[in-house]
Chains A and B, each alone.
Chain A
Amino acid sequence: MAKHSKRAQVVGGFDTFKAAQRAAREPPAQAPAPGQPGTPPGPKKIASRIDHTALPTKHEIRCYECGYEFQLTGRTPTTHCPKCRKMLEIKEYTIDGEWSETVRTAGAIHVTGTAVISEGELIATDIILEGQLDGGVLKAYRWLELGASATFAEKDVSGRDLRVAAGAEVVLRRKATYTNVELHGVLKAKLHASGKVTIKSTGFLQGELHAAHLCVEEGGGLKAKVRVAKSELVPEKNESEQLKKTA
């Protein structure tokens, strides 16, 4: 304990735990007789011995070389994959103007509204697309966010989760399969989500929806054929029989 208090001004979580244990073992200090000078102070509160406890932020990182997912504590521009030992960049990129190079990062890429991606691959954990994708390929391992001014071909973008920004109007002709979907804008698609679909107050979904979870905020719109069930989906034959009986 002594070596910790010498070098650190910030008390760690383990020190806190040990201090609490010690305080619980120590007998409470006896109250001094009234009127006696130099009254010793009361038992120290645990909180007064603690200045600040800081916990570093943990980030989920996915190696873009081998696909291994791991946690990283704190912020660092680069790291090494624990599995394949390759060096990974964890920078955040903002692309503005014409761009034709490949970018691979375990951080995020923001393609602004004035950007035109003519060639190359953009691979990142999270990608925000607000510009024009005219030949390149976008691959997001986590969130793919489509902005109001985004233009792209469906086959050129992919992501695990989809977010449609407020003011955006996205029409997907192919079947869209994602884990989680968050709608702040308008989405017209045949949507299959293995996780949760959230329609915010400004969101609107039109088409078809198959999801495990659905959450619609007050103000959100839904004009679709819906099948939302936690467990295995009910076969369509049973559904039509039930509706015939109630008609």
Chain B
Amino acid sequence: MEGGGNSQTVISSEVEITGTVKSAGSIQIDGKLDGDLNCSGDATIGKGANIKGNLNVNSVVVAGALSGNITAKDRIEMKSSARVTGDIKAKRLAVEDGVTFIGKSEVNPSGAAPSPNAAPPPDKKDEGKPEDAKAGVFSKR
């Protein structure tokens, strides 16, 4: 393809690839991939795409089917037609309504996780009380 850094590789819907795909730039997959994808740029998984493998990308937009783990340096976006089975890890995440997602997620954009002291240790006074009687909410951050 012509052009410099803005070129994008497109794997059309008729293409079936078995093996690892490596790309230094952006890539769009509309076909079938049985293997891993390592992309330094941005990846787009089309609506009709079917990927069985792990993704290591800078950012990815998923609109098709993916069975595997996604590790993104920046952002993961799942469109409403996305069906993802696997773990995801990224700095940022956006999920549209209608997504099917089964797996673990590790996305913490602003470090907004509860503070380590959020769950105080059980008091000795509460030992005799049932667990339900303990307060469930702690003070504001």
Contacts and interface: CB of A to CB of B under 8 A. Distances in A.
A174 interface: yes
Interface of B: 52-54, 67-69, 85-86, 92-110, 112-115, 118-119, 131-141
Which 6 residue pairs are nearest across A and B when measured between Cβ atoms? A148-B140, A216-B95, A204-B112, A154-B136, A155-B132, A222-B105
Contacts of A246: 52-54, 67-69, 86
Given A170-B136, A186-B114, A228-B100, 15 more contacts: A146-B137, A153-B133, A153-B134, A167-B140, A167-B141, A169-B118, A173-B131, A186-B112, A188-B114, A215-B97, A221-B108, A221-B110, A223-B106, A226-B103, A230-B100
A18 interface: no
Given A149-B140, A186-B114, A227-B102, A221 B132 contact: no
Contact of A169 (B94, B97, B114): B114
Interface residues of A, number: 49
A204 B108 contact: yes
B137 A218 contact: no
Interface of A: 146, 148-155, 167-174, 186, 188, 196, 202-204, 206, 213-230, 233-234, 239, 242-243, 245-246
Contacts of B105: 222-226
A245 B52 contact: yes
Contact of B140 (A154, A169, A224, A242): A169
Contacts of B103: 225-226
A168 B139 CA distance: 8
8 contacts: A153-B136, A170-B137, A186-B112, A186-B114, A214-B97, A215-B97, A218-B92, A224-B104
Given A214-B97, A221-B107, A226-B104, A186 B141 contact: yes
B113 A221 contact: yes
Q: Which of A174, A206, A222 has the most CB of B within 10 A?
A: A222
Given A152-B136, A242-B85, A229 B102 contact: yes
Nearest to A231: B100
A173 B135 CA distance: 9
B113 A150 contact: no
B95 A215 contact: yes
B52 to A, nearest CB: 6
